[in-house]
Structure formats: C-alpha cells, structure tokens
Chains A and B, each alone.
Chain A
C-alpha cells in the first residue's frame, strides 16, 4: 500500500456497534479495533454477547446501529457472501461441516473460485485445487482421511476440518468461535499448534474459554460483559483488572 509515513490503518474498526433483540441489547455501543496480523481473543461470561459480535461482523445478524469497517468497506451494508469475498472467514461454535461429502469435497467447496451458479457448474478440479486441498489437509492432520465421508470423523477432526475449510478461503480476518471446545487434551494441544501456524499473515479474532489456551495465543484480550467492553489489553493487564476478577475470572 502507498501509505508512506501515515500510521497503519486498522484492519477492522468496530464503532458504536449496537444490536437489540426486542429491546434487549445483546451488544451495546461496542467499539474496538483490530490491527493487521493481530491475534485478539474475546472472553467473557455466558451471554456476554461474544458470539453475537462475530455474527454481526460476518453478517449473520444485522446491526441496529453502529459501523463495522473492514479494509475501508462498511460490512454492515454487505451481504454475507460479499463479506466473505472481502476477506472475512468465520468458524462456527459447533463444527459445521458437510456430513454427506468427503473430506476432500468439504475442503474443495471452500476453495475461492467458482462461487457463482455458472462458476460452480463449470468448475474443474485442476492441479491448483488438488494441490491446495492436499496442502491444507496436511496442515489439519487429515491428509490420510481425504477420501473418507466427513460424517465419520471424530469431533476434534471435524473442528479441524472446518478450520481447514477457512484456510482454503485464505481470509485476511479469521474468526474462530471456541475452536478447542469439546476436545480431548491431546487434540487441544494439536489444535493450539495448528492455530499457532495458521495465524501467521492474518488477523484472528478468537472466542475462547480455555484460559491456558488464551494465554498461549493472545496478543490482546477483550473482556465482554453484558454486551459492553469491561476491559481490554494484554492478558496480564486483564487478569489483574479488579472488574474482570469480579465478574469473570473469580468465579
């Protein structure tokens, strides 16, 4: 970019974001900023509005007011598929994969080509696609499972598969909703290793409850409480914030 001496703009700027469901403000006048290549973890008690924030960014939920600016585009005005095209990828809380397709086909669908009806009809599985799928499959520890029906994967493998589907998309902002929830200890360690590898060269927004995990990966932590920011900063800063201890960590 030809910015020169100007300060680097934020990748994602959320300002005054509010959403109300029948008067209940799940997210209330929320503002935060994510830099390029930053790993941001959002924590907070149940019902704090963490998942809603991700829903708002990826377009699943429409904001009542406020703006979400990503690379100069206002995401609140875009449709879901345009938001994906702009470079935002999102993993859901429960593994959302296509049970009736093979692991290969699951990954292939996320390959960013042929996303229109006509494009999908004329899509060919060429060497580029095949190589990329193999490359990602290796990353997510599913190299020898490519021909298998995705329904037969274990819970942890399904989570990895969905992460892999996002990797193929190659988003600039990767949003992960509890990526290690429900995993065994060994799966958890592998996932941390996987995440540490894939978060290079992109910004990541993670929701996670596992404090050990958060400490490992977070550059910055945002604590949400009742739809508002309670505290923000490094893990150490947040951990020692009395407000945070009171509502969250102390429990």
Chain B
C-alpha cells in the first residue's frame, strides 16, 4: 500500500537524474554562452510540459501555445523595457522616459495599459494571469460549445496568426516586428553579464522543477485520470457526472500558464521578445518538441525540447536552409514510428534491459494502489 500521490519511485529517480543533469553536469560542461542557449531551450520546455498535460493526457491539441508563450514574454518584456527606458537613459528622445519604439512612432505619452508594468509584483501576476484568463476565455468559448479535435487546433492557429498580426501592426505600442529589444536590468540588477546569465539559468531550472512537480501532481490526481478517460471516451465521462468542458478548460489554462512562465523566462534570459515567438511556426515547433520527447511523458518533454533545440542550433548553423525540412522529417518519423517519442523508446527498449541488468526484479511498486498486489500483466482470458 504505497500509494504515493506525487510520484512513483522510478519517476522520482527520473526527476533526480534530470536535476543532476541540469544543475550539475550542464553547468560544469558548458561555457556561459552555451549554458545561456540551454536556458533558452528550457523556456520551451515549460511549453512542452503544458502540452503533455493538455495534449498528451487531455487529448486537446493546441497549435497556438506561442500565443501564451508570447503573452507571458511580452508582460515580462514590458516591465524590463520600462526599466530600461528611464528618463536618464532616454534623454536623447523627443519624449524622454518612454520606450524607444514609442518615440520612433510619434507616441508622446505612455499608454494606459503600460503603466501598471512599472510594478514587478503586477508584472509577475500578469505573466500568469493575462495568458491564464485569455486561455479561460478561449477554452470556455470552445469547449462549452463542444468544439474539439482538429477544429480546436485550427482555431488556436488562427489565434496565433491574429496575435502576431496585432503585435506587428501596433508598432507604437508593441515594438512591432522588431519586438522589444535592449532589455537591461531587473530592479536595477543587470541581466546581461555572464554571472547574471548563470543566476538566471539556475532560477529557471528551479521554476522548471516547480512546474514538473505541479504537472506530476495533476497527473497523479484523479483529475489526471479523468483527462485520460476523456481522451478515450468523452461521453462516458460526461454521463458519469462530470462537466467535461470544465476539465478541458482547466488543462488548457494550466498549459497556457506554463507556456507563459516559459515566455517570461525567455525575455529574461535572451534579453528580448519579438512576434517571431508568437506565431504559427513557433507554436508548431513547440508541439514537435513535445512529440519527440513523448507526449505522455513529463520528463520526456523536457529532454525532447533540449534535444531538438540542440539539433536545431547545430544544424541551422551548418545548413540553415535544410533545417526546416529536417524538423518536418523528424516530426513525421516520430509520429509514424514512435508515437510515444523518446520516452516511449526508453520505456519499451531501454528500461526493460536496465531492469534485467539489475536483475533484482522485485514486485513492481509502480502500480502500487491495491492491497492484494495484482500482477501488472495478468493474462487476459
């Protein structure tokens, strides 16, 4: 009777291995430039983590996670931009004290919705609440009307396209196609030098593990099982007394909030935010990270994101024009041959061998929910 609510033992080991990898091995092996690249990759891992819950468990494919990544990132970038646009820093502008791109666009006063972003507390709340509430609205509008599957995926794509157009079009308020650049300090602490990059990296890893634990909690709660049940038999869940729409909205919102945290960390680590991380292409890339890592595996999504991005960086450095084809090919290959991604390969081929090597196959503790220890693979009739 070892019904652990958060993790089973093997999952805990997996989390520890990932922690050692991210906290010890990578910082020791990589220079600051490469470590900062990993920090950038990990911002997408937040999105992938959300997609595991929303898509992997809940079966809700969102092709518009860039929207939430972008909203979180822009909220953070607005705060940083305001701090970088102090009167002193911007005295050469015709209106000092407002962000440079506003000045270039003949805007003479800070727009009202920018003002609260002077406050870091407000910004941190907004990073999660703005995308969360936006997801709530989209989710309620779609799921209450029973819109799902491909239709939902297409609508999320449309939202991603619309938001990109909006950001690019409203140059004076958003920085347009260039985005918000030249972000410098966080409460007076310079985020650009090497030591700041290292601190930010560890902070981000900490946040990532917080999100991993939240995801684990959701997954091992009854809500996690209801999501899986809904994916298979939506009507059965509905006629067992659940409001299916509410559960879908929850999964979509949590995925949105995770994505937004990733976006905010992106603005901090990379030092800018632009519409090129909001639109359709980045949104689909984020789905590919999740698919490659394994859409049913919380840790797999993190590894998948790091791996695909490493490949992207090295391939696009050498063969820039071939990269997109490579990514597309990878996606098709994974979906056709390994629908559960790297985590599936690990679970099917590697894990059993390790178990055999260790040899001491004690009765499995993984399924430990019942008192009369039923064997996992009891033969069917």
Contacts and interface: CB of A to CB of B under 8 A. Distances in A.
Contacts of A81: 238, 241-243
Interface residues of B, number: 37
Interface in B234-271: 235-243, 246-247, 250
Contacts of B378: 144-145, 147-148
A105 interface: yes
A99 B53 CA distance: 18
Given A79-B243, A100-B228, A110-B240, A147 B222 contact: no
Nearest to B221: A121
A229 interface: no
B365 interface: no
A38 interface: no
B232 A120 contact: no
A152 to B, nearest CB: 4
A79 B381 CA distance: 39
Interface stretch (B19-27, B33-41, B369-377): B369-377
B367 A105 contact: no
A89 B369 CA distance: 27
Main secondary structure of the interface of B (DSSP, over half): loop
Contacts of A157: 381
Contact of A96 (B223, B235, B370): B235
B218 A153 contact: no
A157 B378 CA distance: 14
B225 A101 contact: yes
A115 interface: yes
Contacts of B222: 108-109, 114, 120-121, 123
Interface in B354-381: 367, 369-372, 374-376, 378, 380-381
Contact of A125 (B217, B218, B243, B369): B369
A104 B241 contact: no
A96 B233 contact: yes
Interface in B198-227: 217-218, 221-223, 225-226
Nearest to B223: A120
15 contacts: A60-B235, A80-B239, A84-B239, A97-B233, A98-B229, A98-B236, A100-B231, A105-B225, A109-B222, A115-B241, A115-B243, A117-B250, A125-B3, A154-B380, A169-B241
Given A100-B229, A121-B222, 14 more contacts: A84-B239, A92-B235, A96-B235, A98-B232, A98-B236, A108-B222, A109-B225, A109-B229, A115-B241, A116-B246, A117-B246, A117-B247, A125-B3, A146-B372
The 10 A-B pairs with the shortest beta carbon distances in the complex, nearest first, are A147-B374, A84-B241, A120-B223, A123-B222, A96-B236, A98-B229, A152-B380, A120-B222, A96-B233, A117-B250
